[in-house]
Structure 1
Amino acid sequence: MNIYGLLGRDIGYSFSRNYFSVKFKNEQLPHQYQNFDLQHIEEITPIFTDAKIQGINVTIPYKEEVIAYLDELDPIAKEIGAVNVIKFDKDRKTKGYNSDYYGFTESLKPLLNKTIKKALILGTGGASKAIAYALKKLDITYTFVSRNPDENQVNYTDLTKDMMQEFKLIINCTPLGTHPHVDNYPAIPYEFLGDNHVLYDLIYNPEETVFMKRGKEKGAKVTNGSRMLVLQAEKSWNIWNE
């Protein structure tokens, strides 16, 4: 039996394990999907040496850290600087890919309107790098928003009315609002949102976050990350089976 799995920390909630377990059952595939819940990235070595393991997804907080342990990077993953898919060849050599950007791009396209030229990316972690890559490919200018901004980034306190009206697409790449802390939300000035705004939350649990609710109240289109997760998961499966 081949084993696939998800690498991360504190991932009992895992979308991937449920998704692939159902897929394997429905398609009568002789595979198993496991969570590799590691407290430290250094614990990864036994996973790489297990010949039964054929492919790995990577989630928070290891999308960037795992790169140092890989033999090779796909050019897109290298440009993004984050990996969420690992493939093994017949010699157990590892290659890192990124399917997050694909899932985000394809799930975002139906929501776009002609007024969207600029986007705010909330958060600066591994997921946000794939989002930035996707926006660049879509010719949408982006600015990172952080509580501790680096150069060329802005703070939440910098978000003025004019800026909010200029940046019509807002993507939450932070964990704020994730179950069980469902009352949390990014501190953007929601009062300046309108019906040309699109709020995209990478969170999928809960189905509707406070970030999304507050956007809807102002007439904005909103979506969670569930469609992106399905698309990136299927892309992962394609990569493992190429």
Structure 2
Amino acid sequence: MRTFGLIGYPLAHSFSKKYFTEQFERDQIADCNYELFPLEKIADLTGVLANPAISGLNVTIPYKVEVMAYLNELDAAAAAIGAVNCIAIGEKEGKPFLKGYNTDAYGFQESLRPLLKPFHQKALILGDGGAAKAVKYVLNQLQIPFITVVRKAVEGAILYEDLTEEILRTHQIIINTTPLGTFPNVEASAPIPYHFLRAEHLAYDLVYNPEETSFLQQARAQGAATKNGMEMLYLQADRSWYIWNS
């Protein structure tokens, strides 16, 4: 039996266990299971890895950065982003060999790419936390210039109150990387001047619960195209499965 799983803390509302368990049942994969490993501290990872059945892991908050100290190698995306959410576990020279990947970047890129139009030339990234790292990496790969927008002043970003009609007009992709609007706080949304949005805009929210956040509702009301984070979630999970079996 091969065991896969998710490390993080807490893990009460994990998407991964249900997703992979249903996949194994649907595809009649009888020799695999998926478990949750809530770790109060990252040092507890060594106990998980001591199980010889462990064949691959997903990583969620708060350990996407800390876990890198336990890995032997990073793929190019994970190294550039500075965060890992997937670990392939193999063997090299008779010893366990752990390689870290960032499948969030893959999921975001593959879900964004079909939506891009020729007039989608520049982007605004709302928020500058961990989730924004993968988004920045993908936009750089796609050669789409961006501005990061934050609540409190940080180097290399502008404040929400600095957003003008001109900035909104010339930045047609708006990506929310903050948790604002996530259930149960569904009324919350990034404080941008939504009345400047037009049909040429694409509003992408990494949040997937609820299906349509307040951010997306307000963008849609102005005629913008909208996309939530559910497909990205599925794609990053499927990419993990591909990595574990390649």
Q: TM-score range by the shorter chain?
A: over 0.9
The aligned residue for residue 51 of structure 2 is 50
SS, match of residue 96 in structure 2: coil
Structure 1: which 5+ residue stretches go unaligned? Answer: none
For the pair 1:203 / 2:203, whether they are aligned, the reply is: no
What is the CA distance between 1:75 and its match in structure 2? Answer: 2.0
1:101 equivalent in alignment to 2:108: no
State the Cα deviation string for residues 189-230 of structure 1 (Å, max 9, x = none): 111111111111111111111111011000011111111111
CA deviation digits over 1:68-101, x for unaligned, max 9?
2222111221112111111111332211011111
* Alignment partner of 1:177 is 2:181: yes
Pick aligned residue for 2:155 from 151, 155, 160: 151
RMSD value over aligned CA atoms?
A: 1.4
Q: Deviations over 1:104-142 (max 9, x none)?
A: 111111211111111111122222111111111111111
The alpha carbon displacement at 1:45 in A equals: 2.2
CA contact 1:143–1:154 (8 Å) conserved in 2: yes
Number of residues of Structure 1 aligned to a counterpart in Structure 2: 242
Secondary structure at the counterpart of residue 56 of structure 1: strand
- Is contact 2:176-2:204 (8 Å) kept? yes
Corresponding residue for 1:79? 80
Distance 1:204 1:72 in 2: 31
Q: If the length of structure 2 is used for normalisation, what is the TM-score? A: 0.93
| 1:117 and 2:118 aligned | no
Give the number of the structure whose alpha-carbon radius of gyration is greater: 2
C-alpha distance in structure 2 between counterparts of 1:38 and 1:178, whole Å: 24
Runs of 4+ aligned structure 1 residues displaced above 6 Å come to none
Over the matched positions of the two proteins, sequence identity in percent amounts to: 48
Report whether the alignment pairs 1:12 with 2:4. Answer: no
Q: 1:223 and 1:217 mapped to 2: Cα distance?
A: 14
Cα offset for 1:176?
1.0
- 1:15-26 to structure 2, matched below 5 A, reads 15-26=15-26
Shift of 1:149: 3.4
Asked if structure 1 preserves the Cα contact closer than 8 Å seen for 2:9 and 2:62, the reply is yes
Q: Aligned partner of 1:80: which letter?
A: I
Deviates more, 1:211-220 or 1:61-70: 61-70
User: Please, which runs of 5 or more residues in structure 2 have no aligned partner?
Assistant: none
Instruction: Kindly provide the CA deviation profile for residues 169-195 of structure 1, in whole angstroms up to 9, marking residues without a partner as x.
Output: 111111111112212111111111111
